[in-house]
């Protein structure tokens, strides 16, 4: 099965589209299939996606982009075209569905009427949404059962670190890009704590100097990691995390790291609310960021609370979503 993926990523839009499609790409590659990204952001694909994928670079202009994408599909005739882009409205989906053998769309909300053979939304709240569709009804892949998780996270979840009653490490991660420049504030919230804090600086960060100033000016033990290859290890060994509420929050749950979520964009708020309602995370709304030092201190001192969050998170996510998505797409192609 030849898979084409239409997705972009970068500092302005984040890297979530590439991370989750990358998990599906890894599944396809592992089965000997070819994968090509059709993208406006080839550097981001190189940074966030499996090295074995091919890349076809698209122009920035919307009209030219559609024509180039259609032309590539017509010439290469992939078995599946997987679309993961907020720019892919109903009209865009319909144009690609008309010429592709099979299409699948990843969409986190109901902003568009969908026109596709398969609709994928692996978010915790997905089964509660009411999608509208054009043409034949798509195959539905909704909820955490269809959450694509990276291979490294899946491996870490299978062999978790032992729980520590006395916490030793924390981790700060805002995903691939720190869109609200909040990492320095989060670092300062660990002032005078007794844990080593791993600060993860993603590939789309542009506030390196501010982060370093916060680290050196705060009374805590910090280690900084710039776009680390061992991200799964860093989050898996932590006794507590402070994180944005994008795709990274699910990875933290999967490896069992008790997490305080700080939503950084409108599309992250439903994730944070749904997970907080299930009592699998602590959630701090951005206007209440001044409460973060107290929330960190409370969670560090409460071993029972951290143990319960760890158990609930690991029970919620089984890390098999990419396999289920691949099998679904494979069946549709038959």
| Location of structure tokens 């053998």 | 101
List C-alpha distances in Å: 106 to 60, 119, 148, 183: 21, 6, 11, 29
> What is the length of the chain?
334
Contact by Cβ (8 Å): 25, 104 = no
Is 0.75 surpassed by the pTM of this model?
yes
Q: Walk along the chain (334 residues) and give the pLDDT tens digit of each residue.
A: 899 999 999 888 888 999 999 999 999 999 999 999 999 999 999 989 999 999 999 998 888 999 999 999 999 999 999 999 999 999 999 999 999 999 999 999 999 999 999 999 999 999 999 999 999 999 999 999 999 999 999 999 999 889 999 999 999 999 888 888 999 999 999 999 999 999 999 888 989 999 999 999 999 999 999 999 999 999 999 999 999 999 999 999 999 999 999 998 888 999 999 999 999 999 987 668 889 999 999 999 999 999 999 999 999 999 999 999 999 999 998 7
Contact by Cβ (8 Å): 249, 281 = yes
pLDDT for 71-107, tens place per residue? 999 999 999 999 999 999 999 999 999 999 999 999 9
CA distance 334 to 329: 9
- Please, is 300 exposed, middle or buried when counting C-beta atoms within 10 Å of its C-beta (0-12, 13-18, 19+)? buried
Residues in Cβ contact with 41 at an 8 Å cutoff, skipping those fewer than 6 apart: 8, 9, 10
Q: What is the pLDDT of residue 154?
A: 95
Contact by Cβ (8 Å): 5, 37 = yes
Contact by Cβ (8 Å): 205, 10 = no
Contact by Cβ (8 Å): 76, 94 = no
Residue ranges of domains in the chain, CATH in brackets:
3-149+319-333 (3.40.50.11190), 151-316 (3.40.50.2000)
């Amino acid at each position: 099965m030849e898979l084409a993926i239409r997705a972009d990523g970068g500092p302005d839009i984040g890297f979530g589209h590439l991370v989750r499609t990358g998990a599906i790409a890894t599944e396809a590659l592992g089965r000997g299939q070819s994968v090509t990204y059709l993208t406006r952001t080839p550097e981001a694909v190189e940074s966030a996606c499996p090295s074995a994928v091919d890349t076809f670079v698209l122009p920035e202009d919307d009209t030219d982009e559609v024509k180039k994408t259609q032309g590539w599909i017509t010439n290469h005739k992939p078995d599946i075209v997987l679309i993961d882009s907020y720019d892919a409205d109903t009209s865009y989906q319909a144009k690609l569905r008309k010429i592709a053998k099979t299409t699948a769309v990843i969409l986190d909300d109901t902003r568009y009427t969908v026109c596709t053979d398969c609709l994928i939304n692996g978010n915790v709240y997905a089964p509660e949404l009411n999608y509208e569709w054009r043409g034949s009804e798509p195959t539905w892949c909704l909820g955490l059962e269809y959450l694509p998780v990276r291979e490294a996270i899946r491996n870490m979840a299978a062999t978790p670190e032992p729980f520590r009653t006395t916490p030793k490490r924390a981790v700060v991660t805002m995903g691939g890009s720190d869109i609200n420049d909040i990492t320095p504030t989060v670092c300062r919230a660990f002032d005078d704590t007794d844990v080593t804090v791993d600060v993860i600086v993603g590939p789309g960060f542009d506030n390196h100097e501010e982060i370093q100033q916060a680290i050196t000016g705060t009374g805590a033990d910090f280690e900084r990691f710039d776009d680390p290859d061992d991200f799964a290890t860093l989050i898996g060994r932590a006794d507590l995390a402070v994180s944005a509420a994008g795709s990274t929050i699910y990875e933290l749950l999967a490896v069992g790291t008790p997490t305080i979520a700080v939503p950084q964009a409108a599309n992250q708020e439903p994730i944070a609310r749904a997970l907080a309602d299930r009592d699998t995370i602590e959630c701090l709304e951005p206007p209440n960021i001044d409460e973060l030092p107290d929330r960190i201190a409370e969670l560090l001192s409460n071993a029972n609370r951290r143990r319960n969050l760890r158990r609930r998170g690991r029970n919620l996510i089984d890390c098999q979503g990419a396999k289920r998505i691949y099998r679904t797409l494979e069946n549709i192609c038959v």
